[in-house]
Amino acid sequence: MTFMKMLQPRTGLRVLVTGGGSGIGLTIAQAFVEARARVHVCDASQEALDTLREDRSNVSITATLADVADQDAVARVFSDVQSQLGGLDVLVNNAGIAGPTGGIDELDVAAWEQTVAINLNAQFYFARCAVPLLRAAPDGGSIIALSSVAGRLGYAYRTPYSATKWAVVGLTKSLAIELGPQGIRVNAIQPGIVRGPRMQRVIAARAEQLGLSYDEMEAKYLEKISLRRMTTPEEVAATILFLCSPGGSGISGQAISVCGNVEVL
């Protein structure tokens, strides 16, 4: 096998991307389609799925409307995966929310619990259902969990988000040890400050919390990145493609930051 072929995922990979109707998840799904994979996504937003279906470039992506924190909905997703893909080679556990912003004594308990349910519990639900299918993958299955740079650094006023993203790394490393003997690789991606609408909302909320303008807050974020720029969704997706290529077949149990080297949050 040539080195260039080692960098390309096998044609026909069967891929499930949670939270794949928009944002980073959709970019990941589109990257796999370009790599000639068969892709199914789930998303909690009917509007996002309608927009996805209206875009002819996404015509090959199948989808399920699902709240990832609802175990019955997760079961429906895997029923659709079986009918649409006939099995599974790659699970990208991408779905997540930003959670509330505020001091620990100010946080709403329901908002904390929702963040844990979507960012952590859902990762467990999907991995639990995916593993029996991944065991049958011809080249060994792969789970890619989306953590965050906030899963390796402390993040004041964003404790629900940071706590769940640290937990994703613990789940990843534990599953890598558990599933490795069965040929299943498990890795986490830790995106940094990713350009897009979601990051704009995060910056705006943090700016309000600290009494700063949006531009002042954005400048403070960029000062903490060695490359002094935001990461793009495409850079995150490209890293995931590599992990699912023959060239990435020796990588498991790793939390890989794609962040321009965020130094502190």
65 within domain boundaries: yes
Give the model confidence (pLDDT) of 45-62 as tens digits. Answer: 999 999 999 998 888 999
Within a domain: residue 167?
yes
Whether 110 shows a pLDDT value over 90: the answer reads yes
Based on the residue annotation, tell me whether 165 is a catalytic residue of this protein. yes
Strands (E), the chain: 14-18, 38-43, 62-65, 90-93, 142-146, 185-191, 255-258
In the 8-state DSSP scheme, what is residue 144? E
| Domain-located, residue 200 | no
Q: Tell me, what's the pLDDT at 202?
A: 80
The CA dihedral of 223, 96, 10, 242, to the nearest 10 degrees, is: 20
- Residue pLDDT, tens place only, 236-264: 999 999 999 999 999 999 999 999 999 99
Total domains, the chain: 1
Out of 5, 161, 214, 224, which one is annotated catalytic? 161
- Say what the pLDDT of residue 4 is: 87
- CATH classification of the domain holding 250: 3.40.50.720
pLDDT of residue 197: 87
Cα four-point dihedral sign 48, 43, 253, 249: negative
Q: How confident is the model at residue 164 (pLDDT cuts 50, 70, 90)?
A: very high
Q: Which of 24-28, 124-128, 204-208, 228-232 has the lowest mean pLDDT?
A: 204-208
Asked whether residue 169 is domain-assigned, the answer is yes
In a domain, 53, yes or no: yes
Is 107 contained in some domain?
yes
Q: Determine the average pLDDT of the residues in 157-178.
A: 97
Query: Which residue of the set 165, 173, 214, 221 is catalytic?
Result: 165
Return phi, psi of residue 198, to 5°: -65, -45
**The pLDDT value given to residue 206:** 83
Mean pLDDT of 174-183: 98
Residue 264 resides in a domain: no
In a domain, 129, yes or no: yes
**Residues 74-102 pLDDT 10s:** 999 999 999 999 999 999 999 999 999 89
- Given a contact cutoff of 8 angstroms between Cβ atoms, the answer to whether 95 and 19 are in contact is yes
pLDDT at 59: 87
- pLDDT given for residue 57 in this prediction: 85
Q: Which residues form the domain of 181?
A: 10-192+232-258
CA angle at residue 19 from 71 to 149, to 5 degrees?
110
| Active-site residue flag, 155 | no
3-state secondary structure of 175: helix
